[in-house]
């Protein structure tokens, strides 16, 4: 009979999947781009440990720690002061050389990579996905990012002079060209019109970064939409106890009413219904993933990170194997803290 034969053939295939996960793959893992957050630098041991973990999960992974300057000190300063669009252009040029995207024989759609972004590094990597033809990102994973912007600037630590200097330059007016071209957090600051629920007029007119990469203006960039929709997975983690990112739900593209605290999820927003950015198309093919994790901003659970690497990074593989990966892993959990976790 046909049905029993098909049933047992399917069962046999399913039982064989675990061995596929554990056995070495002949296909090398995709390179991994990692972009750190505010106040961080490419040489931070905590950041390097993320690359080490990725390599231990998928041996042979080539990790690229994105930097906006050649020295750790200037890279850290560049998280507060600089023009994000200019930084993205420089990063794209560097990756073109590092990944060999400009060489003869390189794919016209860019070099295939995975991407991991922490805090503001998440929305910057998304900007890279949209703007940089040197890379073709398979999986974009972000932790505690501000995809829908921030409603207020963070409080600076007592001795955080870089942070205090940036806030002082803003001086209560985020929409001047000087601020929008030099203060990094101001370039993803977002005001809304509470009547329409859309971005405020000043935001749409003057935002140098976020209004553009979110395709919020009347004239839409179809390339941005196509490149986001072309992702296989876009995974967004929000920290449950995050008080650094305001509102924390920005990490899921949600809108939060500052008056009554009402949250409008992405799927109920006009940007999703009209598919300004390709998120609905990505969602309809199962590529948009919303997840939360316990802890404060940038308090990373090692097991969550490891399982994320297993599920979304590594070699190109079949859909069945990728889905099974999320069910594997030990139950033991470890918590990691960045030394300046509240400032990322």
DSSP 258-273: TTT--EE-GGGSHHHH
- Catalytic: 119? yes
- Catalytic: 90? no
- Catalytic: 177? no
The percentage of the chain sitting over the pLDDT mark of 70, rounded to a whole number, equals 83
Q: Between the CA of residue 48 and those of 53, 70, 135, 298, what are the distances in Å?
A: 9, 16, 22, 15
What confidence category does residue 14 fall into, taking pLDDT thresholds of 50, 70 and 90?
A: very low
| Residue 94, pLDDT score | 96
Q: What is the DSSP string of 63-130?
A: EEE--SSSSHHHHHHTTTBS-HHHHHHHHHHHHHHHTTTTSTT--TT-EEEEEEEETHHHHHHHHHHH
| Residue 5, pLDDT score | 44
Catalytic residue among 40, 75, 114, 242: 242
Query: How many residues does this entry show for the chain?
Result: 344
For residue 64, which of 2, 103, 111, 104 has the smallest C-alpha distance?
111
Order across the sheet with 63-65: list the strands.
63-65, 32-35, 111-118, 135-143, 233-239, 288-293
| Residue 24, pLDDT score | 55
Contact 79, 121 (CB under 8 A): no
Catalytic residue among 64, 147, 208, 297: 297
β-strand 299-301 against 335-337: which pairing, if any?
A: antiparallel
Catalytic residue among 40, 58, 114, 119: 119
| Residue 185, pLDDT score | 96
| Residue 6, pLDDT score | 38
Which has the higher per-residue pLDDT, 13 or 174? 174
| Residue 133, pLDDT score | 96
Supply the mean pLDDT for the chain.
Answer: 87
pTM, to two decimals: 0.86
| Residue 320, pLDDT score | 58
For residue 67, which of 55, 82, 49 has the smallest C-alpha distance?
82
Q: Which of 2-11, 128-137, 309-318 has the highest mean pLDDT?
A: 128-137
pLDDT at 39 over 80: yes
| Residue 160, pLDDT score | 83
């Amino acid at each position: 009979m046909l049905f029993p034969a098909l049933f047992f053939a399917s069962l046999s295939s399913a039982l064989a999947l675990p061995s596929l996960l554990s056995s070495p793959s002949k296909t090398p893992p995709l390179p991994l781009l990692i972009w750190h957050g505010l106040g961080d630098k490419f040489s931070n041991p905590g950041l390097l440990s993320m690359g080490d973990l990725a390599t231990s999960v998928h041996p042979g992974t080539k990790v690229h720690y994105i930097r906006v300057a050649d020295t750790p000190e200037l890279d850290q300063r560049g998280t507060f002061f600089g023009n994000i669009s200019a930084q993205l252009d420089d990063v794209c040029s560097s990756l073109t050389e590092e990944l060999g995207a400009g060489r003869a024989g390189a794919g016209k759609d860019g070099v295939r990579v995975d991407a991991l972004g922490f805090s503001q590094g998440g929305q910057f990597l998304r900007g890279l996905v949209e703007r940089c033809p040197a890379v073709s990102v398979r999986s974009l994973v972000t932790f505690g990012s501000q995809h829908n912007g921030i409603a207020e600037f963070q409080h600076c630590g007592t001795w955080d002079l870089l942070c205090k200097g940036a806030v002082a330059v803003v001086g209560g007016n985020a929409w001047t060209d000087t601020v929008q071209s030099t203060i990094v957090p101001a370039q993803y600051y977002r005001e809304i019109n509470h009547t329409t629920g859309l971005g405020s007029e000043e935001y749409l007119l003057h935002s140098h970064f976020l209004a553009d990469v979110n395709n919020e203006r009347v004239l839409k960039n179809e390339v941005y939409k196509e490149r986001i929709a072309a992702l296989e997975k876009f995974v967004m983690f929000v920290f449950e106890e995050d008080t650094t990112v305001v509102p924390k739900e920005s990490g899921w593209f949600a809108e939060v009413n500052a008056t009554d605290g009402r949250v409008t999820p992405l799927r109920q927003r006009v940007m999703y219904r009209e598919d300004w950015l390709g998120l609905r198309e990505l969602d309809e093919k199962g590529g948009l993933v919303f997840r939360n994790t316990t802890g404060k901003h940038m308090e990373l659970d090692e097991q969550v990170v490891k399982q994320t690497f297993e599920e979304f990074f590594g070699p190109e593989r079949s859909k069945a194997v990728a889905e099974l990966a999320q069910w594997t892993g030990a139950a033991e959990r470890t918590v990691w803290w960045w030394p300046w976790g509240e400032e990322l």
